[in-house]
Amino acid sequence: MSFSVTNLAPAMVGPCEPTPSASLPLSPIDRAPGMRRLIDLFLVFGPAQDPAKVVREALSRALVSYYPVAGRFAVSDSGELAVACTGDGIWFVEASANCSLKDVNNLERPFMIPKEELIPCLPPQVKQDDVFLMLQVTQFRCGGYAVGVRFNHAIFDGVGVAQFLKAIAELARGLAQPTVEPIWCRESIPDPPKLLPQGPPPVFQPLALEQSILDVSQDRIDQIKNQFTSETGQKCSKFDVVSAMVWHCRTRAINLEPQVDVHLAFPVNTRRLLQEVLPKEEGYYGNCVYPMAVTAPSEKIENASIVEIVSLIREAKESVPARFSRWVKGDPKEGPRMVPLEYGSFCVTDWSQVGFYEVDFGWGGPIQVAPLTEDDLIPWCIAPVPCSKRGVRLLLRCVLKEHLEAFHHQMMSLV
């Protein structure tokens, strides 16, 4: 049997009440190169009663307080990218699958339904880059459902879009207002000096990366954390441990020349570092990400212990507050640590603190949350993701096919 999804009622959904008309600025982080792009993910839930209707009505209510999300991109008087609060709305699709979630293994990878059928697609007459958010609610024959999300990174970061989804979910559960009031306030973020690009813009070739999923036991993570504390007298996080493990194993598997630099990149949430300029309460849903990186010769990472690599990651993380402060005060040398878009670079993103697993439309939180964006300009890993076993799950697109077996062998020797 082939499994498929049928779209039932695609439409633009706007705020259910009149909202302000205004032109709002984006922050310099929102406007950074590469941010104006769509990020795809889905959340899978258990049985529910008419979830598409419930989510759609709650969405329309949420757009009253989150009215900029119903707008469109514009250009400010100063020539910068901005938001026109037009109230045009966001694209919403109700869909139905011809199978149960069990039939398709709860949408675990490898997907038994094409991922393109689980996320909303705009009609040809609507420009994809102009819509800030799209949602698709697909109900399965078992009563379970999936919420496919496409969001524009120039409007939200991960924490921001999770905040918006949680607001919709609270209204779906019957709350009169979201518990966290949204804050725009993008103009408050300092505009650091811009470095003029040298020469023509670079051209990047996507890498043919292989998808893989690996589980790491909590016992192994705890063992490394205890070893790190024993050797250094300091503490480290689960993210530090799994990042070090994967970077070490990946570097060994791809086997670059010993003196070639390898790079580990990871985004740092800087909301707490912007307390002097942002309101004290929660609610800011714009981009608050400062890319950080660790660079070292390939042979150093290949030969280092996991504890030594964790120390490198900890040192980089601990340097962020001072670096970020100097950057926003005008020092261009302290700008985000951007790594080359090449095979020797590797990016790890922490989803455990973003908030997607707290989204509950009234029938319980998600069974799983999964990214759908296959951005192969740089090898990447999302970690740690909760899994059914005691431990964490890693979602990876980090090696070429010819290095996949060696990478898995290296990881199995550690986990």
Alpha helices (runs of H) in 233-390, residue ranges in sequence order: 238-254, 298-303, 306-328
Cα–Cα dist 370/400, whole Å: 21
Give residue 46's Cα distance to chain centre: 23
Q: Rounded mean pLDDT of 63-72?
A: 97
d(CA 32, CA 45): 34
Tokens of residue 367, six digits: 């069974």
- Is 30 labeled as catalytic in the residue annotation? no
Structure tokens at 413: 């020797």
Fold equal for 20-188 and 209-352+373-414: yes
**Active-site residue, from 153, 248, 263, 403:** 153
Q: Which tops the pLDDT comparison, 156 or 272? A: 156
**Average pLDDT of every residue of the chain:** 90
Provide the sign of the torsion angle of the four alpha carbons 48, 54, 59, 62, taken in this order: negative
* Residue-range domain boundaries for the chain: 20-188, 209-352+373-414
CB 93 within 8 A of CB 120: yes
Rg over alpha carbons for the chain, rounded to the nearest Å, is 22
**Architecture of the domain delimited by 209-352+373-414:** 2-Layer Sandwich (3.30)
Chain centroid to CA 222: 26
Our answer to whether residue 403 is catalytic in this structure is no
Q: Which residues lie across from 211 on neighbouring strands?
A: 397
167 burial type by CB count under 10 A (0-12 exposed, 13-18 middle, 19+ buried): buried
Q: C-alpha 221: how far from its chain's center?
A: 23
pLDDT in tens, 140-199: 999 999 999 999 999 999 999 999 999 999 999 999 999 999 999 999 887 776 644 445
pLDDT of 374: 65
Q: What pLDDT is recorded for position 315?
A: 96
What's the pLDDT at 196? 46
Options 191, 215, 360, 376, the catalytic residue: 360
Domain 20-188: CATH superfamily, name plus number: Chloramphenicol acetyltransferase-like domain (3.30.559.10)
Which pTM value belongs to this model? Answer: 0.88
- Tell me the per-residue pLDDT of 325-383, one tens digit each, with 9 for 90 and over: 887 777 777 777 778 889 999 999 988 788 999 999 999 999 988 888 666 778 999 88
Residues 278-314: tens digit of each pLDDT: 877 789 999 988 889 999 999 999 999 999 999 999 9
CA distance 182 to 176: 15
Does the pLDDT value for residue 106 go beyond 70? yes
